Amino acid sequence: MKLLRLTIISLSIFFLTAALHAEITVIKVTGSAAYRQGKKWLPLKVGQKLPEGVKVSTGANSSAELKLNSQNHSVSIKPFTMIQVYSKESKTDTNTHIGLKRGAIHAKVPRKGNIKTIFKVSSPIATSSVRGTEHKTSHGHSFGTGINPQINTTQGTNRHGKTFYLSGNLKFHQRPNHGVPLYILLGSRNKSFARVFGHGLTPDEIASMLYSDDQTGSAGGDTSILQQHGLAKVNIGITFP
């Protein structure tokens, strides 16, 4: 009787635990992509099932895509990337955690019905949590961690708990050895304002001065036009944002 009870309990624990682990499946491989088994790297194959906590790495000009559970949550792994994947699911919720050691990934987390979804990507210095459906996360030794929302909202948090909600052009960037992330609109600001150097010249203007064959300014050219003085009318339109 005792043996029967023990068997039933063991079996139920086995089945319950098995149900917790989601199926991690390889859906696309380009170039050289591998998973770690013991101390060896073995090639990834399309359709292959991977165990919980698996480490995946991609080489130069290589990428891989993994399906993380039955809800079609997936991650696209960019070249020179190494990640570790944990994925659990039940009928009511999914819980995915990706450890990003280096490189970049693109996570797609579509929402279905009332399934409670936890999806986190952690680097050594920051964590992104999906509140929408798609985001890119990258991590490198010098640049640190970057989180870039693609669709809807993503949350970026550093190790000190400083959190930003990101959408549109807002980007989270946590540099190593810095207490706070960079200004989340920094990328947009840098795109909006051109870099200027001495005398207010842009790099293109300096390059054209150095390399263009400007006849009016050259020693042997016709410089008479430069000696003429006169008045010119100039219309200037100033737009304040």
**Where do contacts with another protein occur on this chain (CB under 8 A)?**
29-34, 41-45, 57-61, 63, 78-82, 101-104, 138, 140-143, 203, 206-207, 210
Q: Which is nearer to another protein, 37 or 223 (CB)?
A: 37
String of DSSP letters for 84-121: EEEEEE-SSEEEEEEEEEEEEEEEE----TT-EEEEEE
CB of residue 8 vs another protein: minimum separation in angstroms? 41
- Stated as kind and residue range, the H or E segment containing 137 is strand 134-140
Number of H-type helices and E-type strands within the chain: 4, 16
CB of residue 90 vs another protein: minimum separation in angstroms? 33
Q: Which is nearer to another protein, 78 or 88 (CB)?
A: 78
Q: Which is nearer to another protein, 184 or 206 (CB)?
A: 206
Q: Which is nearer to another protein, 110 or 203 (CB)?
A: 203
CB of residue 226 vs another protein: minimum separation in angstroms? 25
CB of residue 45 vs another protein: minimum separation in angstroms? 6
